[in-house]
Structure 1
Amino acid sequence: MQPQESGVQYSRWEDRSRDEVHVVAGSSTEEAWSWERISRKLCSGRLGIAMKVLGGVALFWAVFILGYLTGYYVHKCK
């Protein structure tokens, strides 16, 4: 099936009793496909695992530094 220029996607089920129409508002189908491709690339495979690990480490350090600074100012001697 060739990509359509409009923002309407049509697919027919095998039992032919249900037709499905999707309307993509505000963006073309080519843009949606490119975002899908990018998200699939960044969220799966080795690169996806590396991104999740780096995100977890960055989140850990952000919370650690925020907690350290909060504790410092809360328990600071006058």
Structure 2
Amino acid sequence: MQPQESGVQYSRWKESGQDEVSVVAVSNSEETSCCERVCWKLCTGKLGIIMKVVGGVAFFWAVFILGYVTGYFVHKCK
């Protein structure tokens, strides 16, 4: 059994005989830092999906350009 402050409760000895895990969200805004709030906002929901797609496309083009430049200098005729 974990303490209440962790936000996760594990209860094994219920009458139903099944293990139950419940996650409690921290609602106190004083406990969450500004960085955590920004990260939560950018990584979840529709905005999170958009950020992941934009990041993936940017990563693809960065690798593509790096490979193109590397291939140009490796295969350049002397």
TM range (shorter): 0.5 to 0.7
| Moved >3 Å (runs of 4+) | none
How far apart, CA to CA, are the structure 2 residues paired with 1:47 and 1:11? 29
Secondary structure of the residue aligned to 1:77 is coil
Within-5 A mapping of 1:1-78:
11=5, 30=30, 32-78=32-78
User: Structure 1-normalised TM-score?
Assistant: 0.59
% of aligned pairs identical?
66
How far apart, CA to CA, are the structure 2 residues paired with 1:50 and 1:11? 33
The aligned length equals 55
Higher relative contact order (CA 8 A, sep 6+): 1
Structure 2: give runs of 5+ residues left out of the alignment. 10-29
CA RMSD, 1 decimal? 2.8
